[in-house]
Amino acid sequence: MSVKTKINVQDLMNQIQMRLEQAGSRARLLPARYVERLESEIDGHLAVGALDADLAHEYLDDHDYQPARLSDGTAIVVATPQPQIEVAFTHSGQTHNLIIPPTYLHDTDTEIEDIIGGLLEPYGYSLSNLQVVKKALAVHSGLALYGRNNLAYVPGMGSFHRLTAFLTDMPAPAGEWQEFRALDLCGTCRACIKGCPTGAIGDQRFLIRAERCLTYHNEGRAPFPDWIDPDWHNSLVGCMHCQLKCPENRALLDWIEPGERFTQEETRLLLVGTPQSDLPAATVNKLESMNMLQYLEQLPRNLAAVLPVQPN
C-alpha cells in the first residue's frame, strides 16, 4: 500500500494542467462524485426515446460508472488535438487517398496517462481509466461545448481532438458541474444540418439520430443499409461531413498529416478480407500504427465502398 506524501492538492492540480498544456493538451478536473450524473443523463434520454436503445446497448454497455462513486476522488478529462490522417491505397494501378478523421489515433492516450501518472505517483495517488461518455464529461466539466452535430468542441481545437478521462484518489477539487452548453454559433448556423447527407442531425435538438450517422454504420460490422448512397462515403472509417462544414473548424480544415501507404497487393489483401494471421507483418504494423486493426473486419466493406470497381 502506497504512503501518500503531503502536498498542497491545488498545487498538484495546477502542475497537472500546466504539464498537459505544455504537451499541447488541455484538462479539467472535477469531483468524481459528479460523474454519476452522466448515467442519469443517459437514462433520461433512453426514457423519452431520444436515444436509440440498440445503439446505446452497443456503445455504452462497457461503460462503468461505479468507480466514480469514490466520493472524495477526482475525475480528469483531457482533450488532445489531432489532425486528419491521409492514408494512401494503390488500387487498379492508381493511388487513392482516404481520410481517417481526428479521434481515432490512440497513441496519445498513453502519453497523457504517463504525464498525469508521473505527477501523481510521488504522492501515492492512483490513476485509472474512466470509461464514460467523454464528450458529455468534457462539456459538463467546462472543457468543451456541444455542437449541434453532438460533437464536443474545445476552444482552439474545434472538434479536431481526442478525449481521454481518468479517475484518481487525489482529493476532489472545488470544481462545479457545468450545465449543458452549446456553441453560440449553433443558435443560427445550420451548416452541419445541410452538410449531413443522411439526415442524422436535426434542427430541434442537440442529440443526433446516431442510427442514421455514417460513423455508426462504418464502425459497425453489418452490411451498409440500402438507403446509404455510396457517394456519401468520405473516410476510411468515421465521417467528416459535418466537421468539414462547421465554421468552428474553419482554421483546422487543412490540418492533414500523411499516414501509411498500402501497396496494390496489400490493398487487395484487405479488400478480400484476409485475416490478420495471414497478412504480412509489414501490413499488420501499418494498420496497428493507425489503430485500424480493430476495424480489420470492416475494412473490406469500407474500402469497397470508396475505391473504384476493379475491371475484370
Per the prediction, the chain carries an average pLDDT of: 88
What's residue 48's pLDDT? Answer: 54
What's residue 179's pLDDT? Answer: 87
Domain residue ranges of the chain, discontinuous segments joined by +: 9-82+103-180, 185-306
Range from 71-75, 127-131, 253-257 that averages highest in pLDDT: 253-257
- Which DSSP state fits 235? B
Q: pLDDT digit string (tens) for 209-241?
A: 888 999 999 999 999 999 999 999 999 999 999
Percent pLDDT > 70 in the chain is 86
> Is the pLDDT confidence value at 51 over 90?
no
CATH class of the region 9-82+103-180: alpha beta
Q: What confidence tier does 312 reach under pLDDT thresholds 50, 70, 90?
A: very low
Which segments within the chain are labelled E, that is strand?
A: 26-31, 74-81, 84-91, 94-100, 127-129, 145-146, 152-153, 161-168, 256-262
pTM for the structure as a whole: 0.88
Which residue would you say has higher pLDDT here, 109 or 2?
A: 109
**Total Cβ atoms within 10 A of residue 174:** 9
Q: pLDDT digit string (tens) for 2-11?
A: 555 666 888 9
Which range (11-25, 167-181, 250-264) has the least confidence?
Answer: 167-181
Contact 236, 300 (CB under 8 A): no
Which range (28-32, 66-70, 141-145, 245-249) has the least confidence?
Answer: 66-70
SS3 string, 84-108, reads EEEEEEEECCEEEEEEECCCCCCHH
What's residue 68's pLDDT? Answer: 58
What's residue 8's pLDDT? Answer: 81
> Is the pLDDT confidence value at 13 over 50?
yes
